[in-house]
Homo-oligomer: A and B are copies of this chain.
Amino acid sequence: MNEGILIVISGFSGAGKGTLVKELLRTYDNYALSISMTTRAPRAGETDGREYFFTSREVFEEKIAQNGLIEYAEYCGNYYGTPRDYVERQLADGKDVILEIEIQGMRKVRRMFPKMLPLFVTPPSAAELKQRLRGRGTESPEAIAGRLSAAVREAEGIGDYEYLVINDDLRDCVRRVHSLVQAAKQAPFRNEGFINRIGEELRILSKGE
């Protein structure tokens, strides 16, 4: 069994990351979703271990101290983070683990998992992004402007990602992402074991002739 890879999915708010991830999990059986840990209280309908692992500040801070989180951040007075043991167990199990976080989180994850695969999801155009944000019908013009300003900054970080995923047609996009994951597994830096082994074998064989 080969170890899985850790996939970080970032992208503009409104790019359709959530739906894309849901469809990936539904369509292929090699993926697992990383579940975040948080100190905020569960909302109605949320179950521990499904939406989040809910925990206390004490336990969360203990996790931080033990280096038990891949990344974490404090937001509106609550901690949010990615437990390391869950991710490592899934990877060892051969699962490709998906983590949906933004660019600062991605950079932290990369320090601990240098072989992780960072993907950036974007709609085909800015006009399309604005239309999708408006289409939600839940956000004020100010909130939309705020998201667009955030997107301007996010766009400046796209160069740090391994692939750009243009989310035009959902089905097609799901297939393309799956194909990008397979491709990424063929990068030499993710195949050091194979490369070292074949190099060693070649050395032995060339001397044997």
Contact = CB atoms under 8 A, between A and B. Distances in A.
Contacts of A6: none
Interface residues of A, number: 48
A159 B163 CA distance: 19
Contacts of A176: 182, 186
A123 to B, nearest CB: 9
Work out how many copies of this chain go into the complex.
2
B186 A164 contact: yes
Contacts of A191: 164
B148 A194 contact: no
A129 B201 CA distance: 10
A205 B155 CA distance: 14
A73 interface: no
A86 interface: no
A202 B126 contact: yes
A103 to B, nearest CB: 13
Given A127-B205, A183-B184, A198 B155 contact: yes
A130 interface: yes
Interface string A168-209: 000000001001101110111101001100110111111001
Main secondary structure of the interface of A (DSSP, over half): helix
A184 B158 CA distance: 15
A164 B195 contact: yes
B188 A159 contact: yes
A120 interface: yes
Contacts of A159: 188-189, 195
Given A130-B205, A179-B179, A209-B141, A195 B158 contact: yes
B120 A198 contact: no
Interface in A5-25: none
Contacts of A158: 188, 195
Interface of A: 120, 122, 125-127, 129-130, 141-142, 144-145, 148-149, 151-152, 155-156, 158-166, 176, 179-180, 182-184, 186-189, 191, 194-195, 198-199, 201-206, 209
